[in-house]
Structure 1
Amino acid sequence: MKLLNAVLFALTLPSGLQADELRILTSFPSGMTAAFKELWDEHFPRTEIRFLNKNTISAVEEVQRGNLRGFDLFWASSPEAFVLLDRSDHFAPMGACGADGPASVEGFAISSVGWARRTESELFMPAEWNDLLLPIYRDQIAMARPARSGTTHLLVEQILQMRGWDAGWSYLLQLSSNLSTLTARSHGVPSGLLKDRFDIGLMIDFLALSQGEALQFRYGRPTMIFAAQIGILNGGGNGPAACDFVRLLLSRDGQMTLTDPRISRTPIDPDVRHEVAARIPQNITTGLQLAWLDYDAETSADRFWAVNTLFDLMITDVLNDRRSLWRRYSDLQGQTSDEAMSHVRRLLSTVPVSETQAIRISRGAEPGLRPEVQPLAGSFERDIVGLWRREVAVQLRDADAILTQLEQDAAR
């Protein structure tokens, strides 16, 4: 009977997946996965562990398409990714690991976002978010596209949640005037800093802290703290091993591994945090004590598609044009009509979509993640993207026309 049960279980595994293998889909870099592979091999040497690294949005899409490759665990920093997968019932049911086992989704580390620079850089380190708008940072700042990076989407959402929808987008659109580049992935930001491609990089804390003394990191204030999570997936082939990995991750050994210099993450276990208090960033410690702001992952999930789409349409796709318009605007300061300049500023810093519209449209978008219109995308997404692109183009065209007239007047 035991042999028969083993055969039946093996037959239920996705093609090519063995019962003694654990598969983890993650957005985390190789330094982190390597450290946990070492820890896993020490405790469970008979079960092979395999990691597939994908950016968060691609990973979510893979699971939403049915988890055809049979991943057992989804492991990422983005809270909204877990909300989206939970809403579509992609996580194992409550009690999957037994009455005394971990939940199907567990937080394991604490993080926040901010900016970094090279330690030897002579450029003034920004003290707060508004400093990033100063002229001294022109062509000096980089960030990843939120449509390609779950942690950058989280950073954009933090700004929107702290400042409100309209004021948050106004800030991001003004920030575009100082952007040097938008990287394809979040890991490209610390890499670009180390290669001296730009001087300031917007990112999640552990990407900078894991670079040792090469990068100096500063948290944005107020500090909005969130928990990175791990979830046991439906459709995996090795549920017991998945439960074992989550137990290991939450154990003292697992939490201490997070403090490995290759990882530099803040453990979620308060006892372990107390034990390694000297290594925990002060802003995180203070933020936990004061609880300044809670990150609203539900709201972020509600408007996920719209935020990614709007960022690309308003910033990524027109970055050169928008930067040029902002610089022409800056060059005309004090030389011409205040009323006309105010009009230009409104055109360059206004999002053409309300928060209510963004939520309503995001709920209608399928699968609700990427801004690009794929060949099989429905007319709903194509029509919305086309409408928003035209509205952005009108704003930029009108700003250009006013600036051209003001430049001509100033030259007379």
Structure 2
Amino acid sequence: MPDFFKPSRRAFIRGAGALAAAGVTAPLEAAARRDVVVLTAYPDAVVSRFEAAFEKAWPRYRLRVVWRMPHDALPYLRQPGQGGVDVYWSASPRTFAQLKAEQALRKMPVSLIGLPGRVGGSVIDDPDGYFAASEVAGYGFAVNPGYLARHGLPAPADWSDLAQPAYAGHVLVPDPVEVGFAPVLVDIPLQAYGWDTGWALWSAIAANARFVGRGGSFVSDELGAGRQGVGLSIDFFVASAIANGAPLRFVYPRQGGVNPAHVAVTAGSPNPDGAKAFVGLVLSEAGQRILTHPDIRKLPVRPSVYANLPAGYHDPFATAAQGGYRYDNALGRGRAAPAAAAFGQALVRPHARLAALWQRLRAADGGTWAKVWPLLSAAPCKESEVDDPAVQQAFFTRRDDPAAEARAAALEAGWAAAAQARHEKAAALLGGA
């Protein structure tokens, strides 16, 4: 039996209660309700609240939920009849783009008035109208206030703070070669401050940092245990840790980035009217307010919702209006993989030596600084390389294409050799410092 025909425990309990209260009429009433099948990766804390609101607003429908993680969603929706799914609702931009390319989605059936479709430089809705953002996650800094207080450090407000010598040894950075969300973190300063300035900033931050190569929650685990004071992450990982008692808070830098979740109606929807009703709720003022529940704390995509939220609740639209959030996610999608690979070769692989060189440079005189700083802060490659579609394709397909792997590996070897040469020259110049 397909998953979507299996009633949830909540639906089962409600059905039993209705039978007890209404006797033989209850089965007839239940039969009159039509299912709306939603495929999602959201946890029950999110889905249950939308389910309750939807069935209250639309008693003619009953929500059926199929849980699939993003990597499993596409195969499921490629089944005959798209597995009976009416709505796909999840945080997986590539999956939505692929479904659109396969003509597996309908045009959005609801008005998007009041939804700007972008946050700063990032377009979050499909320009052709096949899917729309339902919320965004923000990139930024997880901090342990107690740890920072013990070390006499202020909470960082923006990227430049993390480059200060005082933060040496107190910063945790996910390795962008190994951690899926981290390539966007690499590209945010590169876009916000410019290629050369961005890499100089990253070199100084890397010198202060410890790199971790495990999943996103590991940053929160390390900070929660008091082993580090600041960690780069996405807000929902940190929100989950805070909900479980971790003594953390999240700082959204002025120049941040967003990762949108989307909602769409499948081309083969068995119940397009019910799908329209559910999508309408998710994007409505009331639905967007559900996202701000203390147990969820996501960032709505309807700007009007922020007017009634508690003080301190981050408003990305207000920050963007003041010049923040310059990150262009469309540009980033192509170049994030090669930029992350260059980051790995120039900053992660030689990290111990880089940190030692920065330590010596910070103690050097002005003349030495002027000679060494350009060597340590130089970009590992030209911006035109990571923006080259052929290079981007090589990094995206390297696991499946031997020729692509050979080209990507050759580029990495060149970036590593150039970084090593600069570091050796810097070490020679610092020898008498």
Does 2:75 match 1:48?
no
**Partners of 2:139 and 2:234 within 8 A in 1:** yes
Alignment match, 2:21: none
AA matched with 1:161: Q
Please name the residue that 2:88 is paired with. 73
Determine if contact 1:266/1:280 at 8 Å carries over to the other structure: no
Question: For the structure 1 residues 166 and 397, does the alpha-carbon distance in structure 2 shift closer, same or farther, using more than 3 Å as the test?
Answer: same
Question: Superposed, which structure 2 residues align to 1:297-336 within 5 Å?
Answer: 297-316=329-348, 318=349, 321-335=350-364
Query: What is the DSSP-based 3-state SS (H/G/I as helix, E as strand, rest coil) of the residue aligned with 2:310?
Result: helix
Map residues 252-401 of structure 1 onto 2, 5 A cutoff.
252-274=285-307, 276-279=308-311, 281=313, 284=316, 286-287=318-319, 289-290=321-322, 292-316=324-348, 318=349, 321-335=350-364, 338=367, 344-361=372-389, 365=393, 369=396, 373-374=398-399, 376-379=400-403, 381-401=404-424
Q: Given that residues 115 and 203 in structure 1 are in contact (C-alpha distance below 8 angstroms), is that contact kept between their aligned partners in structure 2?
A: yes
**Mean Cα deviation higher: 140-149 or 163-172:** 140-149
Would the alpha carbon gap of residues 326 and 147 (structure 1) be closer, same or farther in structure 2, given more than 3 Å must change?
closer
CA shift, 1:265, in A, is 1.7
Give the distance between the partners of 1:335 and 1:356, measured in 2 at CA. 34
Q: Is the 8 A contact 1:193 1:199 kept in 2?
A: yes
Assess if the C-alpha contact under 8 Å between 1:118 and 1:194 holds in 2.
yes
SS in 2 for 1:184: coil
User: 1:145·1:182 contact (CA, 8 Å) conserved in 2?
Assistant: yes
Which residue in 2 is equivalent to 1:6? none
Taking a change above 3 Å as real, the CA distance of residues 165 and 30 of structure 1, as seen in their structure-2 partners, is farther
Instruction: Please tell me whether the aligned partners of residues 4 and 66 of structure 2 are also in contact (alpha carbons under 8 angstroms).
Output: no
* Partner in structure 1 of residue 250 of structure 2: 217
Aligned to 2:189: 159
**Alignment deviations for residues 177-197 of structure 1 (CA, whole Å, 9 cap, x no partner):** 122232433333223221223
Secondary structure (helix, strand or coil) at the match of 2:143 reads strand
**1:309 CA displacement:** 2.7
Superposed CA deviations along residues 64-109 of structure 1, whole A, max 9, x for unmatched, are 9985685752522x76x478547845661425x3789995311223
In structure 1, distance between residues paired with 2:48 and 2:173: 26
Residue of structure 2 equivalent to 1:8: none
Distance 1:174 1:361, change over 3 A: farther
Q: Tell me the secondary structure at the aligned position of residue 326 of structure 1.
A: helix
Q: Does 1:94 align with 2:103?
A: no
Answering whether residue 158 of structure 2 is matched by residue 114 of structure 1, we say no
Amino acid at match of 2:200: S
CA offsets 1:95-146 (integer angstroms, 9 cap, x no match): 5x37899953112235543212123221411233111012232232123344
Find the aligned partners of 2:427 and 2:258 in 1 and give their Cα distance: 45
Partner Cα distance (1:33, 1:308) in 2? 34
Q: In the comparison of the two structures, how many residue pairs are matched?
A: 376
- Tell me how far apart the structure 2 counterparts of residues 166 and 87 of structure 1 sit (CA, whole Å): 36
TM-score calculated relative to the size of structure 1: 0.73
Which stretch shows the higher mean deviation, 348-357 or 195-204? 348-357
Describe the SS at the equivalent of 1:261. Answer: coil
Residue matched to 2:26:
none
Asked which structure has the greater CA Rg, the reply is: 2
Contact kept, 8 Å, 1:152 with 1:204, in 2: the verdict is no
Deviation at 1:266?
Answer: 2.8
CA distance in 1, matches of 2:363, 2:392: 46
Task: Name the aligned partner's letter for residue 132 of structure 2.
Answer: E
Match of 1:11 in 2: none
Q: Give me the whole-angstrom Cα distance separating, in 1, the residues matched to 2:322 and 2:268.
A: 39
Higher mean alpha-carbon deviation, 290-299 vs 382-391, is at 290-299
SS of the equivalent of 1:259 reads: coil
Taking the aligned partners of 2:309 and 2:104, their CA distance within structure 1 comes to 33
CA spacing shift, 1:219–1:331, aligned 2, 3 Å: same
Q: Deviations over 1:262-302 (max 9, x none)?
A: 2212322234322x332553564632543544432221123
Secondary structure of the equivalent of 1:156?
helix
- Output the amino acid matched with 1:201: G
Verify the 8 A CA contact 2:299 2:315 in the aligned structure 1. Answer: no
| Percent identity (aligned) | 20
Letter in 2 for 1:184: R
Displacement after TM superposition at 1:171 (Å): 1.8
8 Å CA contact 1:111, 1:284 repeated in 2: no
